[in-house]
Amino acid sequence: MKEKIIHVLKGADGYVSGQQLSQFFGVSRTAVWKTIKNLKAEGYNIESVTNKGYRLVSSPEIVNETEMKSYLRTKEFGHNIIILNSVDSTNTYLKNLADSLPTGTVVTARMQTEGKGRLGRVWEGNMDDNLCFSILLRPDITPREAGAITPLCGMIVSRAMNEYFSGEFQTTIKWPNDVIVKNKKICGILTEMSCEDDRIKYIVVGIGINVLNKSFPSEIAYKATSCAMETDKLVNKSKLLADILTKMEKIFNKCGYRFNNRYMKLYKDACATLDKTITFYRDNEEIIAKATDISTDGELIVTLEDGTEEKVFSGEVTVQGIY
């Protein structure tokens, strides 16, 4: 009932009486009062005035289950959520419990002490600076068909953020899945997979968004940014998380975790890597090429200096003008 009461209070223009809430949900006024008390304990600032009722003043600044679910529009994703104050890595935590958890389970933490980045890097952040979460997926595809999931997640997060921050800033994608603003990284995504023979047991997608960071260490300041550095808009992390999960379930259900024509076009339109000069490494040799296309498996197709085409599957790619 907590999500329902929050939904009513958010939509109200002023106070809502306990009697109204009691009638709305067919419960006693005492049950309403107890629910309001629990919501206050969760961090909601709810004003209670005799003979007027209840008014929502503000919502919690950290991810909150009730708040998140009040915005969630999914059948599976996010309905089972584990919220932690601190964890080494949400990906590691979720992988350790994956066999006993339902599809769509989300683990989020206020801080990661050993958050995982690509190529073995550590994703670091202070308490509450980032929106860090991992989601458990069990797609009915083969491991060889899973290559599109990572870039699809980049597209999904980029689109969700563009809608959330509409008019404030616009994100694009550095292949395969870094979400960027003005050529600086604002979100990183790491996908990890567990397989058995030619079957996927599960996939864990970890997503980390820089939200409240005001600065970064000198070694990465040139290529990192945050929501707080791009806009003064206050970020409701619970809503942003719900928006991403809602869009993720909708798109994955439509495309079956693979690129179709529509989502390939959307990805290419958002990909800042295409038509740029890039540098990558092959057998420890630096290769310069032009990024020309994306394959249906999410690989980067490049044209080398001699005119031949090659597919880049993974690894470190530097894009001229970005990083």
What pLDDT shows up at residue 315? Answer: 72
Say whether 65-270 and 2-58 share the same fold.
Answer: no
The bridge status of strand 106-112 relative to strand 81-87 is parallel
Looking at the domain that runs over 277-319, which CATH code has it been given? Answer: 2.30.30.100
What pLDDT shows up at residue 193? Answer: 97
Contacts by 245-248, CB closer than 8 A, 24 or more apart: 245/72, 245/74, 245/77, 245/78, 245/106, 245/135, 246/71, 246/72, 246/73, 246/74, 246/77, 247/156, 247/159, 247/160, 248/77, 248/135, 248/153, 248/156
Please state the domain extents for the chain. 2-58, 65-270, 277-319
What is the pTM (predicted TM-score) of this model?
A: 0.86
The bridge status of strand 318-319 relative to strand 122-123 is unpaired
Give pLDDT tens digits for 203-254: 999 999 999 999 999 999 999 999 999 999 989 999 999 999 999 999 999 9
**Residues with pLDDT less than 70, the chain:** 115-125
What pLDDT shows up at residue 120? Answer: 52
The second-level CATH assignment, the architecture, of 2-58 is: Orthogonal Bundle (1.10)
Q: Which fold has domain 65-270?
A: BirA Bifunctional Protein; domain 2 (3.30.930)
